[in-house]
Amino acid sequence: MRTIKKSVYYCDFCKKHSLRSLKKHEAHCTLNPRRSCGLCENKFDYPGLVNKLKFTTEEGEWPASHYKILAADLMDPVGGCPICALTILRLFMRSKSDDAWTFGTDFHFKDELQKWWDAENEEAARRDYGYEG
Ligand SMILES: [Zn+2]
Ligand SMILES: [Zn+2]
């Protein structure tokens, strides 16, 4: 019998782990407050944006509060980048993790990401192929 020892890499920020290095993942991880964005190529002050995030609170089912977060309030400060918006949302949720709460948002990450790529593709088609849609 033989045993093989392998290193398992763990992200410092989220629960992801892998047998391959997560250095690249960590640089862009949406729970890394100092991440840089691989999609919009910006680097925002995410903790600052989390502090400024507008939300409303409703009485939830006791003892939880119910936070309501609007997609526009996540998207506007980051120029509409869905991954940066997701970063704010995840960091916000983590900052509240000690309290009992639930939350609702009209931010739909996959839809927003799809819209982002649709717009990118259309722009590329215009630029590279003279597409006039
Ligand atoms: Zn991570
Ligand atoms: Zn971004």
pLDDT confidence of residue 60: 63
Question: How many A from CA of 112 to the centre of ligand 2?
Answer: 12
Tokens 């982002």 sit at which residue?
A: 116
Question: How many A from CA of 81 to the centre of ligand 2?
Answer: 5
Domain total of the chain: 1
Q: Assess whether pLDDT exceeds 80 at residue 21.
A: yes
4 assigned to some structural domain: no
18 assigned to some structural domain: yes
63-111 pLDDT, tens per residue?
Answer: 677 889 999 999 999 999 999 999 999 999 999 877 778 888 999 999 9
pTM of the model: 0.86
Question: How many A from CA of 8 to the centre of ligand 2?
Answer: 28
Question: How many A from CA of 26 to the centre of ligand 1?
Answer: 5
- In a 13 Å sphere around the CA of 1, the CA atoms on its Cβ side amount to 1
Q: Assess whether pLDDT exceeds 90 at residue 113.
A: yes
Q: pLDDT tier at 58 (50, 70, 90 boundaries)?
A: confident
pLDDT confidence of residue 66: 85
Q: Which of 80, 78, 81 is nearest to 46 (CA)?
A: 78
Under 8 Å between Cβ of 104 and 48: no
Question: How many A from CA of 13 to the centre of ligand 2?
Answer: 17
Residue 31 belongs to domain spanning: 9-127
